[in-house]
Amino acid sequence: MTILSLQHIQKQYDISQQNGFLALRDVSFNVDEGEYVAIMGESGAGKTTLLNIIATLDNATGGEIILNNQNLKQLSEKHAAQFRREHLGFVFQNFNLLDTFNNEENILLPLVLDKKSVPDMKMRLATLAKQLEIEGILKRFPYEISGGQKQRIAAARALITQPDLLLADEPTGALDSHNTERLLTIFESVNQQGQTILMVTHSAKAASHAKRTLFIKDGKIFHEIYRGDQSRTAYMSKINASLEALSNDDEEMMQS
Amino acid sequence: MIHIRLAWHGIIHHRQQFGPFLLASTVLMAVNFTFFAVLNNTGLKTIEMGEAIRSVTTIGTVFTIILSAIFMLYANNFLNKQRNQDLSIYSMLGLRLHDLRFIVIIEQMILWLLTIVMGIIAGTTFFRLSFLLLKHLLGSNTLVEQLPVRAIVSCCILFSVIFCCLIIYNIYQLYQVKPIQLMRQSQATEKAPKNRWLMSWFGLALLGTGYAISVMTKPNLSAILQFMLAVVLVTVGTYILFIMGSITLLKYLKSRPHFYYRPNHFIAVSGMLFRMKQNGASLASICLLCASILVTMVASVSLFVGEGQLIKQWNPLDIMTLSQSDTLLQHEQQIVHLGRQHDIKIGNIYQASMTTPIIGDFSGNQYISHTNISKGVSQLSTMTLADYNQIQGTKLKLKDDEVLVYTQADDFHQQTLKINGHTYHSQTIAHFKLAANYGHSIFKPIFIITANQQVAQTINPQKMVAR
Ligand SMILES: Nc1ncnc2c1ncn2[C@@H]1O[C@H](COP(=O)(O)OP(=O)(O)OP(=O)(O)O)[C@@H](O)[C@H]1O
Ligand SMILES: [Mg+2]
């Protein structure tokens, strides 16, 4: 079942001004339930812009976007916030945890805002904490733990609402290779449990964990490749080749 | 309610930021409270010179109100960055703008309440102390300290207004809080301050006008109003100049490549730009406070130093009596009688009739009298040469169109004096034994000695007797 559908999405910054900038020209793709999609592209290609639009944090200037049977264009500010709370989870490059709350409270905050019952909270937290290996640091504060641990706390906060779609913008951007690997394994395993994930990344290694990779260039989907039954390494070298082609603008190689 | 909990939680956990803010607001409230309490003290109205204390205190109050308002806005800015970061995370997690607004309002209300309570406690303590000091200074026993209910009310109103402004400002700021900024990761870098030529010039103009007023104002009765205006202009001007002018100047320096691209200039100027943006207001406050300390100090020192001179001016003789009718003989007898009773030898007795002073001002060789006495600087009295000779022990002679002029500051050196449409040949005299400012007024006394009664009356028709 299609959970996210983008049709001819266009985004123009500074629309009122003469030098308006077209960050997204024409982006169309679908994401099915249970998919794990990576989005790659050069810096400035419009990846974050695209993610913002899907996240209801920004509005497209053209095209249709339907998330979970809801046309995002018709969402008011008030409903967008509620929609985010109920259907979306976020992981950022720079974690964005609240230093005033300890890690446990940070994770539970979305549930508290949603007025969930306490036993329910505790139950969900227990399962997640075990899976993400953060049980030992729950009572500490975000400023008392490492970057890799912070990102796992942030992931737990995003996952605890059991969102329809997990959005991640360069989640491994600030992590070393060990912690990157750890986070990616977690993403992969929650995906196997049915969590749909859309992840923007610069790293071929990160993308190689996903089931599908989209390449964006000049505000358009340039290319996409599926992992299928390939091994991780084979898939990763294919991604690398695509990336090279992307920067060389080598259309022919894409065809092969 | 989740909003209250979030707001309270934020305040508790960001106490490093909120603590100093509350300290600042409490101290400001206490200071304002003290001023209001002095202003509202009924005892002060009845004592001698109480009006003067009140009017000076009014100036101080205006000054501190402006200072408080600006400083609070500025202290609030310190909180904003952190708050906006938190709020955008809440927003990302699904809180609506409406909820965020609510959190901001509750947070401000908590701060407001804390400020009011702590401010009143600190203020009453502060006020007790300063009132004791004032009482000691005045040596007055009639002054009673009252529970300053009205001061509490005024102060609460003032700070409620300030906090209302803060709420409005913060809610306005809220529209710039977008979770999208978290994604863009642009939060960490602060925007470079904008260049504001117009405001800088405006600030400079305000400051200039303020100082011009204070320099050009003559020391007359209406001066206190102009002084107040000058205080307001200088205060506002200083803030604008420090906050915006400094940045404009630094930007100007930056725009000159020959100056800017030198190792020491480069780092100093670009570093200063961001630092001035954050600290312009506090520097301005420090400057203003220093200036007011200077003013207070100079005033106190000059009062202290000038005390002897002032007493001499006000009372050149040991005993002076003043009468509008011819009861001088009685006065004299009484004084001699009193002297005998207390074994005091009465020395020289001088007697002179002079006219009640006309308030006015010299302009070149002309004396212009003002009907609106709040504009005048001097008071002019006339007396006859006969009296003068008797007092000074001289034997001067004057023609009808000749006068002697005595000014305290010895600042009249014209050959002629035009007054009431007549022109007289004038001669300045350096000493005059009866040169007393008998009204203890702020006007500078001027004495004109004329040839006879008639001339004296043409210059100034009223009569008075002094001894
Ligand atoms: N608020 C904005 N106003 C104007 N232009 C913008 C704005 N935000 C982004 N852009 C422009 O849109 C383009 C796409 O930006 P975006 O942040 O989506 O790139 P990105 O693919 O996420 O890059 P990176 O990999 O470096 O994060 C860029 O050229 C950028 O300059
Ligand atoms: Mg990006």
All domains of chain A in start order, with CATH: 2-255 (3.40.50.300)
pLDDT exceeds 80 at position B441:
no
| Cβ pair B47, B140 in contact under 8 A | yes
Calculate how far, in angstroms, residue B184's C-alpha sits from the geometric centre of ligand 2: 7
Average pLDDT over residues B40-56: 76
Pocket around ligand 1: residues whose beta carbon is below 6 Å from it? A 13-14, 21, 23, 41, 43-49
Q: Average pLDDT of A178-193? A: 92
Closest Cβ–Cβ partner in A52, A77, A98 for B86? A98
Is the pLDDT at A28 greater than 90, yes or no? yes
User: What kind and span of H or E run contains A18?
Assistant: none
Q: Does A93 touch chain B (CB under 8 A)?
A: yes
Highest average pLDDT, of B123-127, B180-184, B411-415, comes from B123-127
Average confidence (pLDDT) over B383-394: 81
- What confidence category does residue B388 fall into, taking pLDDT thresholds of 50, 70 and 90? confident
What confidence tens digit (pLDDT) does each residue in B198-220 have?
888 999 999 999 999 888 887 77
Structural tokens at position B370: 């003002």
At B438, the pLDDT band (50, 70, 90 cuts) reads low
Of the candidate ranges A57-66, B17-26, B193-202, the one whose mean pLDDT is the lowest:
B193-202
Pairwise CB contact (< 8 Å): A112 & B180: no
C-beta of residue A171 within 8 angstroms of C-beta of residue A91: yes
Mean pLDDT over A9-38 rounds to 87
In angstroms, the first-to-last Cα distance of chain B is 82
Rounded distance between C-alpha atoms, residue A98 and residue B103, angstroms: 16
| pLDDT tens for each residue of A163-172 | 999 999 999 9
Using a CB–CB cutoff of 8 Å, tell me whether B84 touches chain A: no
Between B10, B89, B96, which is nearest A78 by CB?
A: B96
Cβ distance of A96 and B89 shorter than 8 Å: yes
Average pLDDT, chain A: 89
Report the pLDDT averaged over residues B271-284: 82
- Touching check for A85 and chain B: CB below 8 Å? yes
CA angle B363, B364, B369 (to 5 degrees): 30
Average pLDDT of the segment spanning A190-204: 93
Which among B91, B96, B185 is the nearest to A94, CB-wise?
B185
In Å, the largest CA–CA distance within chain B is 101
pLDDT at A210: 93
Residue of higher predicted confidence among B294 and B427? B294
The ipTM assigned to this model is 0.83
Q: What is the pLDDT of residue B186?
A: 46
Mean pLDDT of B350-366: 77
Mean pLDDT of chain B: 82
Q: Which of B82, B88, B183, B186 has the highest number of chain A CBs within 10 A, making it the mutation to test binding with A?
A: B183
Distance CA A93, CA A51 (A): 13
The distance from CA B407 to its chain's CA centroid, rounded to whole angstroms, is 29
pLDDT at A156: 94
Q: Is the pLDDT of residue A27 over 80?
A: yes
Q: How far apart are CA A164 and CA A167, in angstroms?
A: 10
pLDDT at B315: 75
Q: What is the pLDDT of residue B467?
A: 46
Domain limits of chain B? 1-188, 194-305, 328-466
**Least confident range of B254-263, B373-382, B434-443:** B434-443
Collect all residues with Cβ–Cβ distance below 8 Å to A94 and sequence separation of at least 6: A174, B182, B185
CA dist A34 and A55 (Å) reads 18
Is the CB of A110 less than 8 angstroms away from the CB of B97?
A: no
What percent of chain B clears pLDDT 70, i.e. is strictly above it?
Answer: 91
Strand partners of residue B425: B402, B416
Confidence of residue B244 (pLDDT cuts 50, 70, 90): confident
Contact B94 A110 (CB under 8 A): yes
Q: Are B47 and B138 in contact (CB under 8 A)?
A: yes
Place of tokens 């304002």: B32
Interface test with B, best of A47, A54, A83, A90 (most B CBs within 10 A): A90
Tell if the CB–CB gap between B92 and A86 is shorter than 8 Å. Answer: no
**pLDDT computed for residue B342 by the predictor:** 83
Q: Cα–Cα distance between B113 and A139 in angstroms, integer?
A: 32
Helix axes B15-40, B97-138, angle to 10 degrees: 40
Ligand nearest to the CA of A58: 1
When pLDDT is averaged across residues A27-47 and rounded to a whole number, the result is 92
At residue B184, the pLDDT reads: 60
Q: Any idea which of B68-72, B233-237, B417-421 has the lowest mean pLDDT?
A: B417-421
Interchain proximity B182–A98, CB inside 8 Å: no
Chain B touched by A48 (CB under 8 Å):
yes
List alpha helices for B366-449, DSSP H: 385-392
User: Is pLDDT at A255 greater than 70 in this prediction?
Assistant: no
Q: What percent of chain A has pLDDT over 70?
A: 96
Residue B373's pLDDT band (boundaries 50, 70, 90)? low
Q: For residue A256, what pLDDT is reported?
A: 46
Q: Which of the pair, B191 or B431, is modelled with greater confidence?
A: B431
Please say if the pLDDT value at position B152 is more than 60. yes
For residues B18-43, give the mean pLDDT. 89
Buried b (16+ CB within 10 A) or exposed e, A211-234: bbbbbbbebbbbbebebeeeeeee
Residues of B in contact with A110 (CB under 8 A): 93-94
| Angle between helix B263-314 and helix B50-92 axes, rounded to 10 deg | 160
Q: Which residues is A159 bridged to in the sheet?
A: none
Which H or E run contains A165?
strand A165-169
Distances (CA, A) of B155 to A132, A133, B42, B44, B45: 54, 55, 17, 19, 20
More confident of the two residues A181 and B181? A181
Residue B2: is its pLDDT beyond 90?
Answer: no
Instruction: Tell me if residue A218 falls in helix, strand or coil.
Output: coil
